[in-house]
Homo-oligomer: A and B are copies of this chain.
Amino acid sequence: MKIQSTLLGLMLSAAVSLNAQTDNGIMSLKEFAYPAKRQTLNIPDVNGFKVLKCDFHMHTVFTDGHVWPNVRIQEAWREGLDAISYTEHMEYNPHSADVKVDHNRSHDLAIELAKENNILLVKGTEVTRQTPPGHFNALFIQDANTLVSDNDSKLDQEAIDKAYAQKAFIFWNHPGWKATQVPGSYEWIDFVEKMYNEKKLHGIEVVNGLGFHKKALDWALDRNLTIIGNTDIHNLIAHDYNIGAPGVHRTMTLVMAKDRSAAAIREALDAGRTVVWSSDYLFGKEEHVRNLVNASISVSPAYHEKTNAKTNVTTKYYEIKNNSDLSFELELKSGNATKRIVLYPESSQVLTADAGQSSLSYEIVSTFIRSDKHLDFKINLK
């Protein structure tokens, strides 16, 4: 009977039981192997909705990305994502001398691997137009190849119309890209206004990679467009993000969906139930950010109190806890209490407040509910 466990050391330098020598004369040196696992990203349900972690913008060698499609599934699996979408450029194919152009190919090559790993794969493409207006992603399409125009990238309208005809969910990517090179490219131009009026524009990419496009957030809020954030990854996630370091995650769209399915993602995108998570920040409509915060942060009843003999002031002690892998930074706005609270993922802090207060008012400065506005957060004390 085997009575000695060989569970490898956790996480980093996974340990090896060196007697794990096979009978064919090859000894395994596993200490340095990556510990294969799908890391859970813990975010509690929000008002009965699952919070799905989604990245709707990425590339592979089939356009200008650096990896075969299977790598995107590996990355998503390791990082705990629920859904991704290959969004190859329609009009930009720099590898065409080596790689046969087929706009559906990355999706088709990866679909079986995605299913085996329980990753939801949303069929998408990137309509790569002149800037301005720039680029648009179309998700939930049927066939990317039929969207291609005659490769004259000025014929913007045609590809958008075709995607719309395929009932795509269409969002404007990284508005302001090339803003410094192309004057006027960070504006809400007529082309976009027309799309918007014709209901062909459904969302805006407010965070692209590690760039927060401030005007884009306000545009989305003012026009009730869905707020999206993606990596737009071309390289390895591990070479652009410090993935593997504690708490580090890629930029993603948190989709509050009725269940874990592609259909539920579509319904949630249409309904605008999203929050963008990038670095330590959250971006979204006040309602959704607030719901996410309320699901994540809890404050205990007072567990202790102490009266200062000199001042006669009684201090009460509370535990404020972050039940998610998100992070929050709070600054006190009114009340006599702890002035600044950093809630790291899955951790808590001691919150002290003078007795006699029924509530405190904080601002969560790591949220953006407008380009110049953080979420207010009221704590009711018990």
Question: A residues bordering B, Cβ < 8 Å?
Answer: 1-19, 21-22, 24-40, 42, 61-62, 65-68, 70-71, 74, 78, 80, 95, 97-100, 102, 105, 109, 112, 115-118, 176, 179-180, 186, 207, 210-215, 235-236, 238-250, 278-281, 300, 303-304, 306, 317, 319, 321, 323, 327-329, 331, 342-350, 363, 365-368, 371-374
Contact = CB atoms under 8 A, between A and B. Distances in A.
A186 B367 CA distance: 38
User: Most chain-B Cβ atoms within 10 A of its Cβ — which of A68, A179, A331, A349?
Assistant: A68
Given A11-B247, A18-B17, A346 B66 contact: no
29 contacts: A1-B373, A5-B329, A5-B366, A5-B368, A7-B366, A8-B329, A10-B280, A11-B344, A12-B246, A12-B248, A13-B247, A15-B16, A19-B19, A24-B179, A24-B180, A26-B211, A27-B211, A27-B212, A27-B214, A29-B210, A32-B248, A32-B279, A34-B243, A35-B342, A38-B347, A38-B348, A98-B100, A115-B317, A246-B246
A3 B364 CA distance: 11
Contact of A40 (B5, B306, B347): B347
A93 B32 CA distance: 29
Nearest to A283: B29
Q: Which 9 A-B pairs have the closest CB atoms?
A: A15-B15, A10-B247, A9-B13, A7-B329, A12-B245, A29-B279, A11-B246, A238-B238, A24-B179
A120 to B, nearest CB: 10
Report the copy number of this chain in the oligomer: 4
A249 B9 CA distance: 12
A108 to B, nearest CB: 10
A54 to B, nearest CB: 17
Given A37-B342, A212-B26, A342-B35, A319 B18 contact: no
User: Most chain-B Cβ atoms within 10 A of its Cβ — which of A242, A249, A329?
Assistant: A242
Given A105-B98, A342-B35, A350-B116, A30 B242 contact: no
B15 A12 contact: no
Contacts of A366: 5, 7
Contacts of A306: 112, 116
A253 B68 CA distance: 27
A314 B202 CA distance: 41
A66 B238 CA distance: 14
Given A11-B12, A33-B210, A38-B348, 12 more contacts: A2-B331, A7-B329, A10-B345, A25-B214, A29-B280, A32-B242, A32-B250, A67-B67, A67-B68, A238-B238, A238-B239, A242-B244
A61 B95 CA distance: 12
A332 to B, nearest CB: 12
Nearest to A300: B118
User: Most chain-B Cβ atoms within 10 A of its Cβ — which of A11, A214, A240?
Assistant: A11
A15 B9 contact: yes
Contacts of A95: 68
A240 B346 contact: no
B14 A17 contact: no
Given A211-B29, A329-B6, A350 B17 contact: no
A365 B5 CA distance: 5
A253 to B, nearest CB: 15
A241 B29 CA distance: 11
A8 to B, nearest CB: 6
A92 to B, nearest CB: 15
B21 A241 contact: no
B241 A33 contact: yes
